[in-house]
Each structure stands twice: as C-alpha cells, then as structure tokens.
Chain A
Amino acid sequence: MSSSVEAITVLSSDGDEFKITVSAAKLSKPLNWMLEDVCFSDDCDEVPTIEVNSKTLVKVIEYCEKHAPRANSGASDSDAEELKKWDIEFMKMDVKDILFHILMAANYLHMEGLYDLACQTAADLMKGMTVSQIRKIFHIKNDFSSEEQEQLRRQHPGCSFD
C-alpha cells in the first residue's frame, strides 16, 4: 500500500465518485484489504466500485469519517460519550428511509459498529409498528390459516394480527 495518499476515490453502484480518507476506509475490512492490495498513488487511475448506492454511500462515508479518529487512536470516555450522542442524531436524520440499505451496506462492508447501530435503530422503530406494517416493510405474507391464528391468540394473548 502506498502511504502517499490520504484519501481515495471510490465509485458507488450508481457510478458516482466519492472521496473517502484512508483512515475512514480502514473501518471496513474489505476496504482495508483493498487498500493493502491495490496501489493508490496519485498516478494510479484505478477507481474501485462499492456495491452501495450513492444515497447510502454518502451516509456510510459520513459515519466512517466521524468514527475514524476514535477507531484509530482510542479515545477518552468523554469522546465516547460525544460519539454516542452523534450516533443517535445520525440515526435520527433522514436515515430512516434508507435504514435497510445502510444495514445491507454495513453487512457487506463488515462494519460492526454501524451494523449494531442500524440493527438497534431498526428494532427500536419496529417496537412501535403494527403487524401489518411489519409485514409490509419486510415483504412478508401472512401464511396462517384462520384456525392457526385463533390457536396462536389463545396461547399468546399478547400476539396480534393487526
């Protein structure tokens, strides 16, 4: 790996170019391996593609850039606290619309921190949803017969079919 560059350019699945600093890219295992394997110097014209759409990639890069200083140097408790608050705000923003895309990107890019955060955010959102809303967002069909529904209801008064 060349140490001459501080940032690399990557392509999204939509074909847009994005800059990401080397230290931020290291948060992802596959990107880190790529940095080790491929020569990234100024005269190198190879631009790797990340199979994540532009809208999602912007958010993923934003997360990486914010978390990179802490991941690389270790941080004090106050930094960790601040980062936690930032995470909450980050997930509050327009992320909801693309939460599932972020989950898939974090999974694909092996980013444990972002994956945990996105899973927890999705779980917290689901708590307030009805069963019909859950089926819709997960593309699930109700495959219970009416007898089976009745039986489940009897066993678990807490379950709901609405």
Chain B
Amino acid sequence: MENDTPILPQEIITSILVRLPVKSLIRFLCVCKDWKNLFRTPSFFAEHLHHSSRQNSLLLIVDSIIPEANSRHLYSLNREMQIHEIQKSRNIGHFKPGCVYSSNGLLCVGLDNECPDSLWLWNPTIRVVRQVPKSLNNYEYEDFSVGFGFSPTINDYKIIKLFLSGRFVVQGEVYSLKTGLWRKVEVGNLEGVYVLRGWSAFPCNETIFWMGRKDVEGHSKCRLHLIVSFDIAKDVFTLTPFPVMISRQKCCNTLVCYEKKLVCYENKLAIFFPNSESHGIDLWVLEECGDPSKGRWSWAKIFSSRPNPSSLIIYPQIIWRNEIVCLVQALPEYEVEEDYEGKLVLGSLTADELNIFDVPIRSFNTWIFDYVESLVLLDKIHI
C-alpha cells in the first residue's frame, strides 16, 4: 500500500483510525490538523473506546505501598500476561488508601496529602490529569462514599458522592465530566439506608453499585441487605435486595474467610460470595426478571467453585476475560506446594483450575481493575 493508493473518504479513514492503539494515535496527532482535531472529539473517543474495550481489555493493578518508596505502583497486564509499569503523571502523588476508581480508561483518585474531598481524574495512557472542582457545599457530615463510572448512552463520565451521617446516606452530589460541574442529586429513596464502610462503589453497565443495609422497622436486630444502584445516565437511585440465599448465609467460616465482592459478569452485576457449606466460591448474577409478579430483579447462581484448598484463602477480585482474578494467601500452619504469595492467580470460570502468574503483588492491600486504553481528557488540554 505504498504507492498510488486511492483517496479514501473520511468515513473510511475514521473507521481505520478508531482501531489504532492510543500510542499510535498520539504519534499521529501531528499528521495534520484535521486528524489532531478528530482525535479530540468526544464521538471519536467513544468509537475508539468501543473497539479498544472489545479487543484490548487490560488488567490494572494498583500495588500496595512499598515501604522504601512509600508509593503505590501501577501496572497494566495485557492478554499475553505481559506487565507494563505505568508512569505516574505530574500532580499525582500517593493515592489515598481505598480511593482509586477505574472506569473505561479513566481513573478517579484521591491523594494522601490533600483534604479528603479533593479528587483527581487521570488518564494514565495519555498522561493527562485534571483536578475535580470542590463539591457544592462544605458538608459537615462525617464521611462520604465516592462512586465513579461511565455511560456510553450519554457519553459521559460521572463521579457520585454520597454524604453519610452515622453511615446513613443524607445527601448526594454528582459531577459530570462533560459539564465540569457538581449538581445535587435526589436521594429521597435512600432514607434509612446506609452504605458499608470500606466498600468501594463498583461501576458496571452504566450503573454504580454499593452494598448497603437498611434496618427493618420494628426489628432492631434485623437488617435487610441491599444493593444501592445509581443510574449514571438518568441520575436515579434504585434499591435491590440481596439474594435470599446469601442473606441467610454467614459471611465467614474458619477456612474461607473473605468478604463479598461485587463484580461485573457479561455486563451484569454479580457478586462473589463464600459458600460456607461447600467451602468454595459462589457467583450470583443479578438478572432482570421476566416475571414482574416476582419483582423486577432476580438473582441466579451461575457458578460454584470446587472447595478451596484448606491451606489457602482465596480472594476473588474481578472477572476478566472469563476468568476470576484472585489474590491468594497461604495459611501459615499448612505446608503449601505452590508458592502463591505475592502472585496473581487466575481461576477459570469453566475449567475450575487455578493458574499462577508471576505478577508483582506485594500484599492484599492491592486493588485490581479492568482497564482499557482511551483518549478521554485529550480534549481538555490546550494544543
């Protein structure tokens, strides 16, 4: 295709360009002004993201603090299980523990040395950083929970802040990347609901999910386990009960003791739950119910693992390429054949076997996200 190529219509050129990796697009920014401008349009971002997430879904590992460096390292892992360290951008110092959120190529992070409600948006692939403005009001509430997600329908990223008083949700604000503004959001139907501390909000399919609870009236000790969901496109909250089976089970047993984990399975919300009877892991998926008399949503158990080896504690993190990405800890009182410590373990959803990868994970204070390379924020810098 060196010589005498026909002149392609712009429509075809765009179709080719959206299939290029971000690195190539950055290199080709200077081909001509038309291309530079094209790469910075939101519709091009969206189209590129669509291809990128289908073909090049990565795993992003935010590693724990390395004592000597006092810093968190960021790695990406591709489908060939090759590791790339991601360089931090200027302004991005140490992440606040538990305050890293990832959605469609963009990270939302809180930094250690800053006031609690300061947040940054960061695209590590193109190394662009943007500070999120302060919330509307100086709330006096003791705490807040942050959620972050993307909606292809409105082609916008949103940050949602739930302000908590005694853990109860009392107020909400939402920030839209498109408008660059915070706005108050109606939380009336969350009255009496509290979201669990330490649970990062989880984005899946244009929705942000939290695990929450609500006291049942007249029963001081009876609490209803709930999923709180926020529709990113419509700015609306919904409450969904937990699967009955899960609510009844105890969370821990002596051998398998890890916490419930929200994940995304085939674009649906799912939850990993330790099964105290089988000593394995169950995966429940939230399905929209065909029978309205049974309520709008129903839970289906779609996977049960074999019993975990008694010498190991397995922490499922996310589902990636139809595999369960786990952190594994060996119990000290057992002799373990395989050296799982400090390694990433992938369990197959179908074959039920564990594969160990030599990925530098230093402790369980590690966050794992799925990630795609994207161009988002490229339009926010002056070039």
Flag whether A38 is at the interface (Cβ < 8 A): no
Q: A100-B6, A125-B1 are in contact. Are A159 and B12 (CB under 8 A)?
A: no
CA distance A99 to B12 in the complex (A): 12
Residues of B within 8 A of A137 (CB): 1-2, 5
Residue of B nearest to A101 (CB): B6
Question: Are B19 and A119 in contact, with the CB atoms below 8 A?
Answer: yes
Q: Which residues of chain B are near A153, meaning CB under 8 Å? A: 30
Question: How far apart sit A123 and B271, CA to CA, in the bound complex (Å)?
Answer: 38
State the CA gap A139–B118 with chains docked (Å): 47
Complex interface: chain A residues within 8 A of B139 (CB): none
Q: Choose the segment among B31-39, B173-181, B251-259 that binds chain A (4+ C-beta atoms closer than 8 Å).
A: B31-39
Task: Answer whether residue A83 sits at the interface, using C-beta atoms and an 8 A cutoff.
Answer: no
Tell me the A105-162 residues at the B interface (CB within 8 Å): 107, 115, 119-120, 122-123, 125-127, 131, 133-144, 149, 151-153, 155-156, 158-161
A156–B382 alpha-carbon span in the complex (Å): 11
In the bound complex, how far is the Cα of B24 from the Cα of A73, in angstroms?
39
Q: Are B17 and A123 in contact (CB under 8 A)?
A: yes
CB atoms of B1 and A144 under 8 A apart: no
Contacts of A122 in B (CB 8 A): 1, 16
B1-26 CB mask vs A (1 if < 8 Å, else 0) is: 11001111101110111011101101
- By a CB distance below 8 angstroms, the chain B residues around A149 are 30
Closest to A140 in B: B32
A161 and B381 alpha carbons, distance in the complex (Å): 20
Question: Does B383 belong to the interface (CB within 8 Å)?
Answer: yes
Is B349 on the interface with A (CB-CB < 8 A)? no
Interchain CB contact under 8 A, B6 and A138: no
Closest CB in chain B relative to A61 CB, distance in Å: 19
| Contact of A96 with B by CB under 8 A | yes
Measured between beta carbons, the chain A residues less than 8 angstroms from B24 are 126-127
Residue positions of A touching B, CB distance < 8 A: 96-97, 99-101, 103-104, 107, 115, 119-120, 122-123, 125-127, 131, 133-144, 149, 151-153, 155-156, 158-161
Sorted from nearest, which 10 A-B pairs have the closest CB atoms?
Answer: A123-B19, A158-B26, A159-B29, A122-B16, A155-B383, A100-B5, A119-B15, A137-B5, A159-B30, A140-B32
Q: List 27 A-B contacts (CB under 8 A).
A: A100-B5, A100-B8, A104-B8, A107-B9, A107-B11, A119-B15, A120-B19, A123-B16, A123-B19, A125-B1, A126-B16, A126-B20, A131-B27, A133-B2, A134-B31, A138-B13, A138-B31, A142-B30, A143-B32, A143-B33, A149-B30, A152-B36, A153-B30, A158-B23, A159-B29, A160-B27, A161-B30
Give the A-binding residues of B (Cβ under 8 A): 1-2, 5-9, 11-13, 15-17, 19-21, 23-24, 26-36, 126, 381-383
